[in-house]
Amino acid sequence: MKQLPCSRRQGSKLQNSLMQVSKMEESLLQKILVVDDDVELCELLSEYLEPEGFHVESVHDGKQGLDRCLSGKFSLLILDVMLPSLKGFEALRRIRAQSGIPVIMLTAKGDDVDRILGLESGADDYVPKPFNPRELLARIQAVLRRYSAPSETFLPRHERLVLGDVELDSGTRTVRCRNRTVELTSMEFDLLALFLKAPGQVIAREEMVTKVLGRELAPFDRSIDVHVSNLRRKLGSTRDGTERIKAIRSVGYVYAMPGKLKVR
């Protein structure tokens, strides 16, 4: 039996339905903003990341990248250090003043200063150029996992930890130290929770990277050390000048404050 062709009205309805499905599918994808003046690199990232379930938008200018990022339409930002009109560090500083979007910095290979500055400015992670796209994908997935389910592996969603003059509330994700509120990044918050759960115990860097950064420790990776340094600086020493977090050479760190942990 010969099939009759669709009428124009039916064809139009079908086309509209397909467009709606396409828009729904796009809305379900996690959107990534790439801000880098290397057009070819941006195209390569789109080609690699979109089959992995991401919608990628690229901007090649610092100021435009800042505006797009603050639109609130993206799940994660990949930000290069060297950009025209507005450098990556300044863009990150302005972003962090208004948004907690996850940020991965792209830095020059071997440039420890850029990496440290990026993490101190609030970046969640960094990837040195040139990089393997699979490594960047792994970092993206690890950061997004942490933001979608922060601290679940070692800290319940509604728990209050009190140790000495430090109080951490996992429900509101707030921290108070010596009766003052301490503003911490997501990484720093999870680090402190890990320390408070094991006062006086040495925590290996490998464990910290796995639980806090959500990935394996890579050779020459000092990102966790920068996060610990920032946390130590924000908490400050005790009233008698005692260092709260001490480094154990070639092993990891220990939260050295005495006292019994109270869980409420």
HSE-up of residue 221 (Cα within 13 Å, Cβ side): 18
Percent of the chain with pLDDT over 90: 53
> What does the alpha-carbon distance between residue 208 and residue 163 come to, in Å, rounded to a whole number?
20
- What does the block give as tokens for 161? 């930890």
Q: Out of 3.40.50.300, 3.90.1150.10, 3.40.50.2300, 1.10.10.10, which CATH number does the structure's domain 28-148 have?
A: 3.40.50.2300
pLDDT of res. 117: 83
pLDDT band, very low/low/confident/very high, at 98 (cuts 50, 70, 90): very high
Q: Which of 19-23, 27-31, 116-120, 167-171 has the lowest mean pLDDT?
A: 19-23
Among 26-40, 191-205, 245-259, which range has the highest average pLDDT? Answer: 191-205
- Which pLDDT tens digit goes with each residue over 102-151? 999 998 866 678 878 888 888 989 898 889 999 999 999 989 988 776 54
Mean confidence (pLDDT) of the chain: 85
3-state class (DSSP) for residue 48: helix
99 and 92 in contact (C-beta within 8 Å)?
no
Q: What is the pTM of this model?
A: 0.72
181 strand-pairing partners:
176
> What does the alpha-carbon distance between residue 173 and residue 189 come to, in Å, rounded to a whole number?
7
The whole-number average pLDDT for the span 77-97 is: 94
Q: 160-263, what's its fold?
A: Arc Repressor Mutant, subunit A (1.10.10)
